[in-house]
Amino acid sequence: MAKVLIIGGHGRVALQLGRILRERGDQVDSVIRNPDQSVEVEKTGARPIVADVETMDVPALAELIAGHDAIVWSAGAGGGDPARTRAVDHDAAVRSMDAAAQAGVGRYVMVSYFGSRVDHRVPADSAFRHYADAKADADEHLRASGLDYTILGPSTLTDGPGTGRIDVTGEESSDVDRADVAEAVAAALVEPATVGRTIRFNRGETPIAEALR
């Protein structure tokens, strides 16, 4: 049994992930900012922890992270305001990585997106540019952090029931069900072959655990 901390615990991927992890016997703490979301988190079997990672410094985050076996970053500002996008998708994420190192928690799984890379080529006048920059820079920090990281880059998210199968070989982004993203995170947490890798994926025909190996 692992003790997993999900940051961004009320997201649609995170809620499904919490349920999957609890069903396989893991202990799950899910960090949420809004206490009104506690009931939905509890329904998955996870324990809600109300904390605002956007405002917490590294020592406070390290205290939150300490005692866990792994961290999953599934938080995001949700687009819109560029300053808040940077504050959450980059600054808070980076502080959580530094805090993980400080707390001695090495395993860190980042839920990113398919196109996250420094040379993303998103035009400067695009509303998506701020998010693309924030995610790319956060992912780069994680790669250099010394943590046992996995960066998962799903393509466009859809709300289907999931197929249990993905494709990690595609060069172009397509789509994938959130249910399968949650399954991929759960599988990555227990698959040593995912450590130190960035894995981009679409829906596909290969069983998730096999694809990640």
Domain extent for 116: 3-212
| pLDDT value at residue 80 | 74
Is the overall model pTM greater than 0.95, yes or no?
Answer: yes
The domain that holds 125 is classified in CATH as: 3.40.50.720
Strand partners, 125: none
Question: Model confidence over 132-148: pLDDT tens digits?
Answer: 999 999 999 999 999 99
Residue 108, SS3 per DSSP = strand
Distance of CA 198 to the CA centre of its chain: 12
Burial class of 62 by CB neighbour count within 10 A (0 to 12, 13 to 18, 19+) = buried
Question: Model confidence over 46-98: pLDDT tens digits?
Answer: 999 999 999 999 999 999 999 999 999 999 988 779 999 999 999 999 999 99
Asked whether 88 and 126 are in contact (CB, 8 A), the reply is no
149 is catalytic: no
Question: Residue 22 — very low, low, confident or very high, per pLDDT cuts 50/70/90?
Answer: very high
**pLDDT over 90 at 209, yes or no:** yes
* Mean model confidence pLDDT for the chain: 97
Question: Residue 121 — very low, low, confident or very high, per pLDDT cuts 50/70/90?
Answer: confident
Residues near 95 by beta carbon (within 8 Å), at least 6 away in sequence: 53, 56, 57, 58, 61
Q: What are phi and psi of 12, to 5 degrees?
A: -70, -30
> Which entry of 108, 113, 131, 149 is annotated as an active-site residue?
131
The total domain count for the chain is: 1
